[in-house]
Amino acid sequence: MNLAARRLFLFFFSFAALTACDDPSDIGLELQDKNQIGTDYTDTLTVNTGTVLLNDSILSFNQSVAEVGRYADPVLGTVSATTFTEVGLGGSNLNFGENPVAQSLELTLDYGFKYGDTLQDMTVSAHRLTEKYDDKKSYFTNTELAYESTPLGTQTFRPLREKVVEKDKDGKDVTVTRTRLVKINLGQALANELIAQSGKDPLKTQQNFINLLNGLAIVASEGSTGSLIGLNLASDSTKITLTYRSGAEQKVQKHVFTFDGSNVRNSTLVKADRTGTSVAELTKGMYIPSSQTGGDSYVQATTQLLTKLTFPYLNKLKEQNGTNIIVNRAELILPVKGSSTSNNLPTPPQMVLYQTNNSNRILKNNTGVPLSVQQEGASTMNTTQIPVVVTKDAKKDYYSVNITSYVQAMLLDKKPNDGLLLAPAVVSSAQNGTRQIQTEPRSYRAIFSNTDANRVKLLLYYSKIK
């Protein structure tokens, strides 16, 4: 058997061995058996880490969460977010009746995600957009839309939960705990402007309405440095309520403008001020090794900070043991710095590993799909449809992930050993068993430790075939 055929045989033999492994979720540091019969074990292969500022921009168009606010991270500096959104007409051919008179115009914002110190007051204001969304443009976390400097309205609040009385399905009053809604008076002038268009072209279609009102910018004041919140624009509670009187009796009526629907566009602008931090000098595509940042590397969703992992001595294992290596188990352990986490600054629920190169870009296939490390199995390794999810047990201080197939492929030169980028993501499952990676729209961050006392480890069990 020639060398190429022999390697190919070993490659597929290794995958057959992998199918006999326990579920990766069942294996952790405390469960590793260093004396498995017929296998060798090492956890001393160096894993280098560092921080990268991603070259590519992050899409923020019509994400599930639109952020607004500002918080001061004690390690990574200040992060601020502004929401830009169109307003839905809430119908068509709007007519407010005979002799309508505007009473009030109130913006209500519902939110669920909170990040930072929610015990501090936050001040947000609503501004009228002076720039429209362009169908020919893409919108990223660094894309800004122009808006009027004078706000339509402002509100100061604390992003807490409160007890409110609501009606149940039988119409009875029940007390529930829910997020405190933000209510902003948008002023009499805009209310009068909308009423004046009753029965006219601007209120006939959504497109006509956008020509009248480009949309809103929801902006946090510079004095608000406590937290960010994630607006739920699809919620029935997120709306603009126009209250008016009309008809001979001047009866009080209401019309609701919404923010939901496929024809209503939104995006989030995110800015990061890293002045005075250990990564203040990072520029796009630049890499700072953790040896220069006290052993730490960083991940921060929406600001393009990712952790890069490299395995510089993996080939030494092959040189020392020959090419006949079967990887029985390879688990990556990523310690989270204990002092960096809190209830106010939780770490990302999910992350993925992307292939990269010396330019620190996320590599893509010829159709533009990012190349991520896939879930275990011979049939999945060269796909892009089943990314492996990097998770952290709530009771543990590290993330872990099974990358057995990928390590085997690197040893057999089937995958490049150029490093991996660890990135926050939202991974959803489809009915056909595939998974889809979506941008994480919430500003989670994590700090990973890679010091002598608390190293990033590659736990490797392998066999040698003679």
Return d(Cα 167, Cα 175) in angstroms, integer: 9
Specify whether 169 is located in the same domain as 253: yes
Confidence of residue 429 (pLDDT cuts 50, 70, 90): confident
Specify whether 234 is located in the same domain as 378: no
Residues 6+ apart with CB under 8 A from 186: 105, 106, 107, 126, 152, 153, 240
Beta bridge partner(s), residue 147:
129
| Residue after which a domain boundary falls, among 272, 300, 316 | 272
Q: What average pLDDT score do residues 37-61 get?
A: 87
| Residue at 278 is within a domain | no
pLDDT at 130: 98
Q: What average pLDDT score do residues 57-63 get?
A: 91
For the cut 90, the answer to whether the pLDDT of residue 66 exceeds it is yes
| Residue at 277 is within a domain | no
Pairing label, strands 239-246, 251-258: antiparallel
pLDDT at 323: 66
For the cut 90, the answer to whether the pLDDT of residue 4 exceeds it is no
| Residue at 140 is within a domain | yes
Return d(Cα 184, Cα 423) in angstroms, integer: 36
| Residue after which a domain boundary falls, among 242, 272, 302 | 272
Neighbours of 327 (CB within 10 A): 25
Q: How does the average pLDDT of the chain come out, rounded?
A: 87
Determine whether 136 is exposed, middle or buried from the number of CB atoms within 10 Å of its CB (0-12, 13-18, 19+): exposed
Q: For residue 384, which phi and psi values (nearest 5 degrees)? A: -125, 10
pLDDT at 390: 95
Query: What is the SS3 assignment for 383?
Result: coil
Specify whether 295 is located in the same domain as 248: no
Determine whether 51 is exposed, middle or buried from the number of CB atoms within 10 Å of its CB (0-12, 13-18, 19+): buried
Specify whether 91 is located in the same domain as 205: yes
Contact call for residues 363 and 370 (beta carbons, < 8 A): yes
Identify residue 325 by its one-letter amino acid code. I
Q: Which domain holds residue 353?
A: 3-55+284-464
Q: What average pLDDT score do residues 406-421 get?
A: 92
pLDDT at 343: 65
For the cut 70, the answer to whether the pLDDT of residue 12 exceeds it is no
Specify whether 23 is located in the same domain as 107: no
| Residue after which a domain boundary falls, among 250, 272, 294 | 272
Confidence of residue 20 (pLDDT cuts 50, 70, 90): very low
Q: What average pLDDT score do residues 162-170 get?
A: 74
Confidence of residue 378 (pLDDT cuts 50, 70, 90): low
Specify whether 259 is located in the same domain as 125: yes
Specify whether 228 is located in the same domain as 170: yes
Residues 303-328: pLDDT tens digits?
999 999 999 998 888 888 766 788 99
Query: What is the SS3 assignment for 280?
Result: coil
Nearest CA among 147, 146, 135 for reference residue 61? 135
State whether the Cα torsion 29-30-36-40 is positive or negative.
positive
Query: What Rg do the C-alpha atoms of the chain give, in angstroms?
Result: 27
Beta bridge partner(s), residue 461:
41, 329
Longest dimension (CA), the chain: 97
The H helix count followed by the E strand count for the chain is 5, 27
pLDDT at 173: 82
Residue 252: how many CA atoms within 13 Å on its side-chain side? 4
Q: What is the DSSP letter of 429?
A: E
pLDDT at 6: 47
| Residue 182 Cα distances to 213, 239, 381, 391, angstroms | 21, 11, 47, 33
Query: What is the SS3 assignment for 5?
Result: helix
pTM of the model: 0.85
Return d(Cα 308, Cα 306) in angstroms, integer: 6
Which of the given ranges, 5-9, 37-41, 239-243, 409-413, has the highest pLDDT on average? 239-243
Q: The tokens 């959803």 sit on which residue?
A: 428
For the cut 90, the answer to whether the pLDDT of residue 207 exceeds it is yes
Residues 6+ apart with CB under 8 A from 440: 301, 302, 348, 350, 423, 424, 425, 426
Return d(Cα 152, Cα 212) in angstroms, integer: 15
Specify whether 328 is located in the same domain as 407: yes
For the cut 70, the answer to whether the pLDDT of residue 247 exceeds it is yes
pLDDT at 341: 62
Residues 6+ apart with CB under 8 A from 410: 311, 314, 416, 417
For the cut 60, the answer to whether the pLDDT of residue 7 exceeds it is no
Q: For residue 240, which phi and psi values (nearest 5 degrees)? A: -120, 125
| Residue at 291 is within a domain | yes
Specify whether 433 is located in the same domain as 391: yes
Confidence of residue 339 (pLDDT cuts 50, 70, 90): low
| Residue at 279 is within a domain | no
| Residue at 366 is within a domain | yes
Contact call for residues 80 and 327 (beta carbons, < 8 A): no
Specify whether 382 is located in the same domain as 243: no
Confidence of residue 43 (pLDDT cuts 50, 70, 90): confident
| Residue at 29 is within a domain | yes
For the cut 80, the answer to whether the pLDDT of residue 179 exceeds it is no
Q: What average pLDDT score do residues 204-228 get?
A: 95
Number of separate domains in the chain: 2
For the cut 50, the answer to whether the pLDDT of residue 220 exceeds it is yes
Higher pLDDT, 162 or 278: 278
pLDDT at 298: 97
Specify whether 244 is located in the same domain as 212: yes
| Residue at 346 is within a domain | yes
Q: What average pLDDT score do residues 56-80 get?
A: 93
Instruction: Flag the least confident range among 7-21, 122-136, 361-375.
Output: 7-21
Confidence of residue 380 (pLDDT cuts 50, 70, 90): low
Specify whether 402 is located in the same domain as 358: yes
- The four Cα atoms 229, 230, 234, 237 give a dihedral, to 10 degrees, of -20
Nearest CA among 302, 298, 225, 306 for reference residue 446? 298
